[in-house]
């Protein structure tokens, strides 16, 4: 049985050994887990991995907007990633991970760990055991018959898509406002930081981060690196219903970035500000738009809502 370092034993080591396709059945799952695994493998020089994920409790409980948007975004962005929701027959609470190598079942694991960073992190106890990979793959295909892909246009006819945002915005204890300006909102926008992080040397000019100064930090609000080998990812859905995967990084956990590529966050804010890609962002651009900060609302450790809408009075 495996009760420690589950992430490496189950999600990383088989790929190091040459396995190239992962089949997952999990009661619950998160886009940030997908992003974290692909990012970690990519940093190790392993890029030709495909992941086929079935989420088993969606037939009974639906799925939240941030997670649904996040899975769609990843399925469209990552060649080889597929996500399916169970929509008929009994809910599936199983947690099963099956690796193929060169088209043959290679290794499989079954146990208690959902495909989430919480389950594969250090904040709760889980246990997994190796099992017969061929039998495990047969189980995956048995469940597969009762699923629908997250990218199907009619998915909301079969799965309840839950929007927790309006209720969430009523509780300020779940809210954190971060300025895009220096000195906690009292200064100008950074010339080579914040939304202008890429405005230097040979960097991609859209590279950007949201400043996360120590004075604004709420303990436990965002997942942070700690002693882990790779910073945790988290998913946000924005007020204009876009999806981003973010993480807290840099020395002292001072920046919030898009780990897939640092330019993605800068492209998003330039789009909202009506600026062309690569443009230098000024404080006047933010003022003209209508705000110089951004609000985050926490749904759970892996799901957030990001509000950059302009507040207008009736």
Q: In the chain, which segments carry CATH 3.30.870.10?
A: 6-163
| Cα–Cα distance measured from residue 107 to residue 266, given in angstroms and rounded to the nearest whole number | 40
183 exposed, middle or buried (CB, 10 Å; 0-12, 13-18, 19+)? exposed
Fold of 6-163: Endonuclease; Chain A (3.30.870)
Find the mean pLDDT for residues 239-256: 91
Find the mean pLDDT for residues 39-46: 94
Percent of the chain with pLDDT strictly greater than 70: 98
From residue 117, alpha-carbon distances to 6, 20, 205, 280 in Å are 11, 21, 31, 35
Q: What's the pLDDT score for residue 95?
A: 98
pLDDT band at 312 (very low <50, low <70, confident <90, very high): low
The reply to whether the predicted model has a pTM over 0.95 is: no
Q: In the chain, which segments carry CATH 2.40.330?
A: 166-307
Rg value, the chain, Cα? 20
Q: What's the pLDDT score for residue 268?
A: 97
pLDDT at 272 over 60: yes
Residues with Cβ within 8 Å of residue 313, at least 6 apart in sequence: none
Spell out where 210-278 has E strands.
210-211, 234-238, 243-249, 255-257
pLDDT at 314 over 60: no
Contacts made by residues 260-263, CB under 8 angstroms, sequence distance 24+? 260/35, 260/39, 260/77, 261/204, 262/197, 262/198, 262/204, 262/207, 262/208, 262/209, 263/198, 263/204, 263/205, 263/206, 263/207, 263/208
Q: What kind of architecture, by CATH, is found in domain 166-307?
A: Beta Barrel (2.40)
């Amino acid at each position: 049985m495996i009760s420690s370092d589950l992430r490496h034993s189950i999600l990383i080591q088989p790929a190091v050994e040459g396995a190239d396709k992962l089949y997952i059945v999990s009661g619950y799952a998160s886009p940030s887990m997908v992003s974290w695994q692909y990012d970690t493998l990519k940093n190790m020089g392993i890029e030709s991995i495909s992941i086929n994920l079935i989420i088993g409790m969606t037939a009974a409980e639906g799925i939240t907007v941030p997670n649904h948007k996040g899975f769609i975004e990843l399925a469209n962005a990552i060649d080889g990633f597929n996500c399916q929701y169970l929509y008929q027959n009994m809910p599936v609470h199983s947690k099963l991970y099956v690796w193929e190598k060169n088209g043959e079942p290679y290794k499989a694991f079954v146990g208690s760990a959902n495909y989430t960073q919480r389950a594969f992190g250090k904040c709760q106890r889980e246990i997994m055991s190796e099992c017969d990979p061929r039998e495990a793959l047969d189980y995956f295909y048995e469940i597969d018959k009762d699923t629908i892909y997250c990218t199907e246009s009619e998915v909301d006819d079969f799965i309840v898509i839950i929007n927790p945002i309006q209720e969430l915005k009523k509780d300020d204890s779940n809210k954190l406002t971060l300025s895009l300006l220096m000195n906690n909102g009292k200064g100008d926008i950074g010339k080579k930081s914040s939304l202008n992080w890429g405005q230097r040397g040979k960097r991609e000019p859209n590279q950007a981060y949201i400043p996360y100064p120590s004075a604004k930090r709420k303990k436990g609000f965002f997942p942070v690196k700690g002693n882990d080998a790779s910073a945790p990812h988290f998913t946000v859905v924005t007020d204009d219903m876009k999806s981003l995967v973010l993480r807290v990084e840099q020395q002292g956990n001072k920046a919030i970035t898009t780990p897939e590529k640092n330019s993605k966050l800068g492209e998003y804010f330039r789009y909202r500000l009506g600026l062309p890609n690569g443009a230098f962002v000024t404080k006047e651009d933010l003022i003209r738009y209508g705000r110089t900060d951004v609000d985050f609302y926490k749904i759970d450790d892996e799901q957030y809502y990001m509000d950059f809408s302009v507040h207008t009075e009736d």
